[in-house]
């Protein structure tokens, strides 16, 4: 039985990242150095690293005939060398189907969660990405009316969005989504149906509105999408348990 690869940890204090300097020898040398640090008993592939103008902060790695092709969002081109090294470890772990060290994940998240970097990410997504949303007024439910009612009752009317509406596709896997860059809330059009109770649509809208109030956080090496404060606030919804049960039934029918 093949033993899982144990990746040596990246010794770094993520809150004390250095100033952004160019990596010595270019990004290919960074990936080669991280690969050697893994101590694998196999020849190192040739690395080809390209920065791409993606609409999201995403990166990928693919192995083709012992050539590892790496695509990195160009927003990270000016990141400190240790951040690029952390990303290299994360991508190589993905390629080798093992877990990167907690230190590498903490280092990468510490950088991308910096307020200045988050603003750059949001601006990039608004500039490069397109948001396709249908009207808020559906055949059976008016999302604008539901939003305003919940906003007054639970948020003092303080939440502001650029837009909200139904999704173009009738997705059963992604029922709701809040986009922080575009400040939009989208609910799946599969919910705009007579068999769907109103309290379920209201609960899903309330859930996405809580994402506006409680943004994604970082806890060391983890992204926290639903914080403890988020979960506690979510239970204020009067039909919370009934809505959760109905959602499970809906998911089982997918």
Distance CA 92, CA 47 (A): 11
Tell the burial category of 7 from Cβ atoms under 10 Å away from its Cβ (0-12, 13-18, 19+).
Answer: buried
Supply the pLDDT for residue 249.
83
Contact 140/193 with Cβ under 8 angstroms? yes
Task: Give the model confidence (pLDDT) of 173-204 as tens digits.
Answer: 899 999 999 999 999 999 999 999 999 999 99
pLDDT in tens, 230-249: 999 999 999 999 999 998 88
Domains (range + CATH), the chain: 14-128 (3.30.2010), 143-252 (3.30.2010.10)
């Amino acid at each position: 039985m093949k033993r899982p690869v144990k990746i040596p940890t990246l010794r770094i204090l993520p809150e004390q990242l250095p100033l952004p300097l160019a990596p010595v020898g270019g990004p290919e040398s960074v990936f080669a150095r991280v690969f050697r640090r893994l101590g694998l008993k196999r020849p190192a592939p040739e690395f080809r690293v390209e920065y791409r103008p993606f609409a999201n902060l995403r990166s990928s790695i693919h192995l083709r005939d012992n050539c590892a092709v790496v695509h990195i969002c160009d927003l990270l081109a000016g990141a400190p060398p240790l951040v690029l090294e952390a990303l290299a470890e994360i991508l190589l772990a993905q390629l080798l189907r093992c877990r990167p060290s907690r230190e590498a994940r903490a280092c990468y998240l510490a950088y991308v969660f910096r307020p200045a970097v988050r603003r750059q990410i949001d601006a990039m997504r608004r500039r490069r990405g397109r948001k396709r949303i249908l009207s808020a007024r559906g055949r059976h439910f008016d999302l604008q009316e539901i939003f305003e009612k919940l906003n007054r009752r639970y948020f003092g009317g303080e939440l502001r969005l650029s837009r909200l509406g139904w999704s173009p596709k009738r997705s059963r896997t992604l029922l709701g989504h809040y986009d922080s860059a575009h400040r939009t809330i989208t609910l799946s059009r599969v919910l705009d149906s007579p068999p769907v109770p109103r309290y379920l649509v209201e609960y899903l809208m309330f859930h996405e509105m809580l994402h506006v109030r409680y943004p994604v956080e970082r806890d060391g090496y983890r992204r926290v999408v639903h914080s403890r404060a988020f979960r506690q606030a979510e239970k204020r919804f009067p039909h919370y348990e009934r809505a959760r049960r109905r959602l499970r039934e809906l998911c089982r029918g997918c």
